[in-house]
Amino acid sequence: MSAATIAVEVFLGIAVLNTWLSCIAIIVMPNFYQRIHYLSNVTAISAFSILLAVVIEEGWGQATVKTILTCVVLLLINAIVTHATARAARVRTLGHWSSDPHEQIPGTRGRGDTEAERQRKENE
Amino acid sequence: MNTWLIAATALVFAMAPCGIACFRGTPIDRMVGLEMAGILTSLILLLLAQGFGNPNFYDLGLTMSLLAFGGGLVFVRFLERWL
């Protein structure tokens, strides 16, 4: 078994393992905004692991060019779709997209609050 | 059966959690499962193209990634505005 074959198998193993973990994460994570993070995990790590495996196996050729194109398209497009999905979820929850300086986001101390306001809220 | 086809088969089984995600929660929660399934389909088609040794099949993965983008965006806009 050559070093190239081992490298291909390692990269494919990384891709499969990472994809499986991300797929399990989207049903385990409690919050919608936590789930959508795992979409980019697959397009960034799994897709580029497969790309590296193809490059090692095929060298420079038609297959490599098309795989690069697919991975770049997936990476760019996923960012747009993830943003649109998060925006849709926010609009469905709040009725608008624009930010509110006094908005209380669960799990945070609130955007735009000054240190004095934060102290006052903690004392209350 | 070579390594590429084994990896493709493993990724096909990863569709099961996406299916579960599509059956749970609110409509916008289910979108995550649908988007993940689209990405997985593109990767599976890439692996199958390499596994069968036909470079022409790579176009399927590329086409799938573009169609998943269009479909996902239309669904999301629909969920945002009307549903």
* Nearest to A88, CA basis, from B71, B21, B82, B37: B82
- Cα separation of A5 and A64, whole Å? 17
**Residue B31 is encoded by which pair of tokens?**
């979108």
Q: How far is B66 from chain A (nearest CA, A)?
A: 7
Could you give the CA distance from residue B61 to residue B50 in angstroms, rounded to a whole number? 11
Q: What percent of chain B has pLDDT over 90?
A: 46
pTM of the model: 0.84
> Which residues of chain B make contact with A74, given a CB cutoff of 8 A?
39, 42, 65
ipTM for this prediction: 0.89
Interchain CB distance below 8 Å, A78 and B39: yes
Structural domains counted in chain A: 1
Averaged pLDDT for residues A16-43: 91
pLDDT band per the 50, 70, 90 thresholds, residue B29: confident
Q: Which residue's entry shows tokens 């990384």?
A: A14
Average pLDDT over residues B7-27: 91
Mean pLDDT value of segment B35-61: 90
Q: What is the pLDDT of residue A31?
A: 84
For residue A86, what are the domain limits? 3-123
